Each structure stands twice: as structure tokens, then as C-alpha cells.
Chains A and B, each alone.
Chain A
Amino acid sequence: MRKGVGEGTENKIRGVEQEYPVTAKAGLNPSLLVNAAIQGLKRRRFSRDVKWDTATEVSQEAHEARIASSFGENGCRVYNDMGHLEISTPSYNNPFDAVAYDKASEIYAFIGSKEASRALKKKVAIHKNNVANFFSRAVSSGVHIGKGEKVNTNTYATHGNIITKREACEDWSRVEKALIPWVVTRILFTGSGDVVSGKTIGKEGVKFVISPRAMFVVQKSSLSTTVSRGILNTRDQPHAARKYWRLHDIHYEALRSEYAIFLRDIAQAMVICAFELGFLDDAPEIEDPVSAFKKISLDTQECEWKIKLKDGSRTDAVSILLFYLEAIEKMYEEKGVEGKWDRIGRKCLKEVIKKLEARHVEECVDGIDWVTKLALLVNYEPKSASEGISICNQYALLDESVMYYLGDGEESLKGSCLFNPKESLTFAKRELPQVDWSSLPDRVKYALSNAPEQTREFFKAELLKRYGPHVKSVSWSTMVLNEAKIMLDEPFMLNKEEMWAEMTEGREIEEILSAAKGLYPDKIIY
């Protein structure tokens, strides 16, 4: 076992990229709003300017090489990506930190919007979702709503990343066989739920769906994330040594529920471990996964979630999830390496599948985001498409309620956001009693200004804080200082356990580098 790192899925680093739409009623240019939010975060010392070292990365989207980044105090990357405020969390290695750093990201986004409001003297709102529905006057084609208007849906992303062995991903047909059924069916508990234009299914009006992301997929795999989007993304950009592959999952969604974020993280990590070890090689093959993805997503009423397999048999999404659960169980039985989070995650996955199998979906209000949003729609009884859209948007609104995670109390819940952290945490405490949720406020506070202790982000963030003027550029896997270049291409290298004793106040940077070189002679290059 590596120093400072636990067992099982704790050997997998992961992180989430969230694109937040920034909006002002005055209809200001989105990039102007995003830049104002980024400047505001810097003013409040949540982040700092940094040159992002793109030379070490294989950029597969042309615009990415031109993005100016700032570096969050907790090791996150903050930037303007095509007119959205994008925050990529630092890499962590357990589901509790997945929640803490996701909530820290929400707080960064909220602070950014407040600062943008102040600077621009306009009300600037920020949301955490994946679709923007807007109305426009009818043209020759399109969907008409009410008084000659049509609704369109723009989509933006939440990407999940997890480090994987390159050898497991070299045969992409194996990746597709093992993981496509998982991505298609996991939406039953990872779907964020939202309304999208009926155009996505060739109909009029708007439709509430389990997974808004599913509605914009056209093929099994794609390199691009913006056009002809695939279920899987083939981007080969490990942000680590060549022996790794970073699985870049473009179908994470903008979740608010702590339970759902926790479960998605640990379930994904367990599935990827099972995949690497060959336990998913006989996964059931879906006949037409692209249309199945949409069909399941659309089934919010009967919840039959029917699927036709390649061999002609018919089943449902839950039976496919059961395959993955059984594969995970078999893996732990045969391999025996199961960490604390794996045990909790396995139990939680089993219980949610049991609920889904019995179709007791209503029991998941406040735990699974799409179910909570649907419950809000049902109980508000919107009278128009516009009202339905507003309800979903109001759930996604990041307002003062995000401060509840810092222990700000019930006062913070009085805003107009329809997501209620108190009710959501009550669900998490009930369904995941083995997790110490009472420590979440302290962990979120920590996550606002500190990187996770277990990964390479610790060293990077601490070095920037203490020796900022020495840093010329950073990337996920490199750091260039005036004195040396550091190759951070091993995910857990120079973590707190390895470096804390060396990082005492007042030490010269040369001493720190010398200590790091003692541990990793080839990675510190003078």
C-alpha cells in the first residue's frame, strides 16, 4: 500500500469538471460575466493567476490551448470555457471528498457570482445544471410554445475523470463492451433530471427527462465532446505518466444531492476497478445503446426502463445494474482487497438497486436529484413550459443556501433555491449512516482552501501558497519553478504523508525540492 493512501478504490484518483452558466437579466455577454466572476474569486483570494502549462498536454479540442486559467487555493482549476465558469476540482480518492470538493466548487461559483454582481452592478445568477432552455420567436421550423414562441435547449457539461490503467483501455471495443451498459443504466441514480426541448424526441413542447445529457448523444464513442457526442469519450490525455489512462466521462451530471454525489463517485470507482480486473468482460450488450439511453431517460412515469439486448432478449435497466453489482461483489470475493469506502459504497449501491427494482422510486426524494426535481414539478403543478423550466432552474440556482455546508444554519436557506441542503443531508444521513456527515462542514471548510491530503495536489497547492513567486507554470501533472521542473506524473506522489514534515514554515524552497528529490530522484529536474 502506498504511503498515505488507503485500500481498494482509494488507489484511484478522480475529479469532476463542472461548467456553470453565469447569467444576468440584462443579457450581458456570458464571457464578460464569467471573467467578472473569475476576477472576483481572485480578489477574494480564492484563486490566483497562474500560467497553465499546456505544453505537456495533448490538447484535442483546439480552443483549449487558448484558455487562461487561474489556480484555486484548494488545487482546483478555474477558467472561462466557452462562456461558462468552469471549475475542475483537485483530484481526490474517496467519496466523502467527492462531496466536500463538489460543495467547495459550488461555494466558489456562488462567491464568483456575488463578486460579479458587485463589480458589474447587475444581478448575476449562477446555476449548477447542464441545460439552458430559452424561448425565441418562431421561425420556419422549431417548436411553438404559446404565443408564437419556440423552446431551444443548449447543453453544457459535467465531466468525471478517473485514473485507469492504460493497458485496460488500449482495446477500445473492450471499454465499450464493459462500460457502455453502465453509463446508460446508472442514470437511474446519477441522473440530474431536467426539462429539455421536445425537439430532442421530434415532438413539440418540453419534456422532463431523467438524464438531460442522454438526450444529446448520437453515437457509442467520440473524441469530440461538442459535436456528434458519444456515450464514451476517447480522449487520450492522462494528465499522468503514459502507463495511465484518464477515463474522461462526459456524462456525469450536475448533482446537488450529497447522497447522489457520494454514490456516483464510489460506484464509478468500484466499476472501474472491476473493469481493470476483467470482471466486466461479459457485460450484457445492449442492442442499440444510444436509443436505449434516451428511452430510459424519457421513462419517468411508468419506470419500466426497458432494454433490448443484442441477443434479442428483453430486460430492464435495473437488471443491468444488478450485473454490475454482482461483478463488483465477485471482485471483492476473489481479490479480497476492500477498503472502508468500498464496503460502504457496495452496501449503498445494493440498497439503491433494491429500491429501483421494487420501483419504490418515490422513496428517493431528496436523495436522487431527478426524483427530487420531478417531485417539485408534480407538487408545484406548473401551468406552462416556462414555469416548469423555472422550477428546474430554481433547483439548480446557487444562492446563499450553499453556505449551509459551512454550518451557516437555517438563515442561509431562506433564498429562492428549491434544492434544500438540510433535507438532502437528512436523506444522506438516513441512507448512509456509516458516514460521519456531522464532519462535512469542517471538511468543506478545509476543502475551500486546502487540497486533498492524499494526492499530488497537496504538494502543488502548498507550493503555490508558500512559494508562489517561484512558480512559473503548472498543469495537472507538472510544475515549473524558477529552480526546477517537477514531474507530478504519479497520482499520489508528494502527498501530505510524504511531505508534511518537510513543509515547515520558513524553509527555503531549495530544501523542499531537495527533500522531494530524495523521494523521487527522476521527477525533480534541475
Chain B
Amino acid sequence: MVFEGMEGEEEEIEEEEGYVKEEEKEYGGAEKEKEMATILERLKKREKKEKAADLVSKLKGKKKVNKKIMPYEIYATSGE
């Protein structure tokens, strides 16, 4: 959520090193099955990421904006 004076968090991109390395290996039998399972798991995660992307877009139109915004400030000290 970015608006004037509101800082959008920079996306931290994690390198998926293991993913590339494992694909380069030669494999077969049980090892192949294991790696396929790992790849499928990663694909599942990737799919999740696709679905996850841009919550802001998904929320468009999900809430009515029929009330006037009042310039409220809360004057409160820190507490506990």
C-alpha cells in the first residue's frame, strides 16, 4: 500500500540456488522420485506465490467507501 509519504517495502528477492543446482544433476530411480517430489513441492510454492501476488489488487472493490474521511489525529503517549 503506497501513497504520498507512505513507503512501499522493497521486495526482498531470495535466490533459489538449490532449485537450479538440483535440476542440473543426473538422476534416476529413488533419487529421481525424491527430487521430483522436491520440484513439485517448489512448483506448488511457486503457484502459491503467483496466487499471492498483489493482495492490493485483489482487495479492490471489496469494501465500500461511503463515509467521509475525517482528519483525525490521536494524541496519545506510549503506554503499558
Contacts and interface: CB of A to CB of B under 8 A. Distances in A.
Contacts of B64: 379
Q: Among the interface residues A23, A133, A135, which one has the most CB atoms of the partner chain B within 10 A?
A: A23
Interface in A70-91: 81-84
Contacts of B48: 357-359
B6 interface: yes
A132 B76 contact: yes
Contact of A394 (B9, B53, B70): B70
Interface string B9-29: 101001000000000000000
B69 interface: yes
Name, among B55, B67, B79, the residue most crowded by chain A CB atoms within 10 Å (CB to CB): B79
Interface residues of B, number: 40
Nearest to B11: A302
Given A27-B75, A30-B77, A380 B7 contact: no
A378 B54 CA distance: 11
A125 interface: yes
Contacts of A184: none
A177 B68 CA distance: 47
A134 B74 contact: yes
A362 B58 contact: yes
A112 interface: no
A83 B79 contact: yes
B30 interface: no
A193 to B, nearest CB: 10
A115 B52 CA distance: 46
A226 B78 contact: yes
Contact of B74 (A61, A129, A383): A129
A349 interface: no
Contacts of B71: 386, 390
B6 A379 contact: no
Contact of A390 (B58, B62, B69, B80): B69
Contact of A379 (B5, B55, B59): B59
B1 to A, nearest CB: 4
A306 B76 CA distance: 33
B63 to A, nearest CB: 4
On chain A, which size bracket covers the interface? Answer: 35 or more
A27 B73 CA distance: 10
Contacts, number: 191
A382 interface: yes
Contact of B3 (A198, A379, A388): A388
A391 B72 CA distance: 9
A83 B76 contact: yes
B52 A385 contact: no
Nearest to B4: A384
Given A203-B7, A375-B63, A378-B56, A134 B75 contact: yes
Nearest to B54: A301
Nearest to A233: B80
A179 interface: no
Nearest to B9: A298
B65 A207 contact: no
Given A206-B5, A383-B3, A385-B5, A378 B76 contact: no
B interface, over-half SS: loop
A300 interface: yes
A305 to B, nearest CB: 9
A21 B11 CA distance: 34
Residue among B3, B11, B65, B71 with the highest chain A CB neighbour number at 10 A:
B3
A228 interface: no
Nearest to B5: A385
A384 B65 contact: no
Interface stretch (A154-162, A165-173, A280-288, A469-477): A154-162
A148 to B, nearest CB: 12
Which residue, A300, A375, A394, has most C-beta atoms of chain B within 10 A?
Answer: A375
Interface in A242-279: 250
B62 A365 contact: yes
A356 B68 CA distance: 32
A216 to B, nearest CB: 9
Contacts of A81: 79-80
A38 interface: no
B3 A225 contact: no
Nearest to A418: B67
A389 interface: yes
A207 B6 contact: yes
Contacts of B51: 358-360
A206 B6 contact: yes
Q: Which residue of B14, B48, B55, B60 has the most chain A CB atoms within 10 A of its CB atom?
A: B55
A497 B53 CA distance: 53
A113 interface: no
B41 to A, nearest CB: 11
Interface in B37-58: 48-49, 51-56, 58
Given A359-B51, A418-B67, A381 B3 contact: yes
Interface of B: 1, 3-9, 11, 14, 48-49, 51-56, 58-65, 67-80
Given A125-B72, A133-B73, 18 more contacts: A19-B79, A30-B75, A82-B78, A134-B75, A157-B79, A157-B80, A225-B80, A226-B80, A306-B14, A361-B52, A362-B59, A374-B1, A378-B1, A387-B69, A394-B67, A397-B72, A416-B67, A416-B68
16 contacts: A19-B80, A24-B75, A84-B77, A125-B74, A132-B74, A300-B55, A302-B11, A304-B52, A359-B52, A362-B55, A375-B59, A385-B4, A386-B5, A387-B3, A388-B1, A390-B73
